């Protein structure tokens, strides 16, 4: 798609008219596009559920849920298991750290990685809007980082792959109890359910919506969160 009109009409239909730049108050950002017909969205909850059930069917796999890992247990510099937050010790011949953005609280990763978050928002849509946009492409602006998905379960999700937000905290060094270090550690709606995305992040999402999905630009977000 080589023009803004083509991009806009790929979502809203062949007769849709662009929002004028005078109304946007800036130059247009959605100017050209390509379509990847192999692209699709994934229901993360269902994916995790299916893999979880497959793992439960394997006699060699068990899960310990509900209590997080506090630290990796070490002997002579070698991992020998983990200690949970309730002080339970789990011994292991091999310990695999796969904690995503939380990994730097368990292993010294200073200078190697930094945890950051991007903003995500959900907007409720009507049945008519769901029908109207059900075949819209998953749409990304590679310049602004904005990403929007077709309706799913009565809502549209949008996000921005921004430079990212840090949550700087001071913790005990994961490999040296005598030291304290500063790291960026995820702050999520699980532990801080009252949190919302920063105001400038919401403004950036709405700015993209004003050009691409103008009827949704001023609609109240059903919920927002920072995705780590």
* C-beta neighbour count of 42 within 10 angstroms: 7
The pLDDT tens digits of the residues spanning 11-57 come to 999 999 999 999 999 999 999 988 887 888 889 999 999 999 999 99
* Residue 111 bridge partners (DSSP): none
Count of structural domains, the chain: 2
* Distances from the Cα of 11 to the Cα of 5, 15, 129, 148, 187, angstroms: 10, 11, 12, 11, 34
Kindly state whether residues 158 and 223 are assigned to the same domain: yes
23 and 8 in a single domain? The answer is yes
Same-domain status, 151 and 80: no
One domain, residues 74 and 14: no
* Start-to-end CA span in the chain (Å): 32
Q: Do 183 and 85 have their domain in common?
A: no
Q: Are residues 89 and 161 in the same domain?
A: no
Half-sphere exposure of 90 (CA within 13 A, CB side): 17
Residue with tokens 């691409």: 212
List the CATH number of the domain containing 61: 3.30.9
Contact in structure between 212 and 148 (CB atoms under 8 Å): yes
Range of the structural domain that residue 113 is part of: 4-65+97-227
Q: Are residues 191 and 124 in the same domain?
A: yes
Predicted TM-score (pTM) of this structure: 0.87
- The reply to whether 119 and 22 lie within a common domain is yes
Structure tokens at 228: 């780590």
**Ramachandran quadrant class, 87 (left: phi over 0; alpha: psi -120 to 50; beta: rest):** left
Under the banding of pLDDT at 50, 70 and 90, the label for residue 137 is confident
Which of 75, 96, 117 terminates a domain? The answer is: 96
Q: Which tens digits make up the pLDDT trace of 93-103?
A: 999 999 999 99
Q: What is the mean pLDDT of residues 73-94?
A: 95
Given 74, 96, 118, the domain boundary residue is: 96
């Amino acid at each position: 798609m080589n023009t803004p009109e083509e991009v806009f009409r790929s979502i809203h239909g062949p007769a849709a008219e662009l929002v004028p730049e005078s109304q946007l108050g800036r130059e247009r950002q959605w100017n050209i596009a390509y379509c990847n017909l192999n692209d699709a969205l994934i229901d993360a909850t269902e994916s995790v559920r299916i893999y979880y059930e497959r793992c439960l069917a394997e006699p060699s796999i068990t899960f310990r849920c509900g209590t997080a890992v506090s630290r990796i247990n070490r002997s002579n510099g070698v991992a020998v298991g983990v200690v949970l937050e309730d002080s339970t010790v789990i011994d292991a011949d091999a310990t695999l750290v796969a904690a995503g953005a939380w990994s730097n609280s368990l292993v010294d990763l200073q200078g190697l990685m930094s945890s950051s978050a991007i903003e995500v928002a959900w907007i409720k849509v009507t049945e008519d809007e769901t029908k109207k946009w059900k075949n819209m492409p998953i749409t990304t602006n590679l310049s602004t980082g904005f990403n929007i998905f077709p309706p799913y379960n009565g809502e549209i999700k949008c996000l921005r792959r921004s430079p990212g937000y840090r949550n700087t905290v001071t913790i005990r060094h994961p490999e040296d109890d005598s030291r304290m270090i500063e790291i960026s550690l995820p702050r999520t709606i699980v532990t801080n359910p009252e949190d919302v995305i920063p105001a400038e992040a919401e403004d950036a999402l709405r700015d993209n919506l004003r050009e691409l999905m103008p009827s949704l630009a001023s609609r109240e977000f059903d919920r927002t969160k920072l995705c780590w």
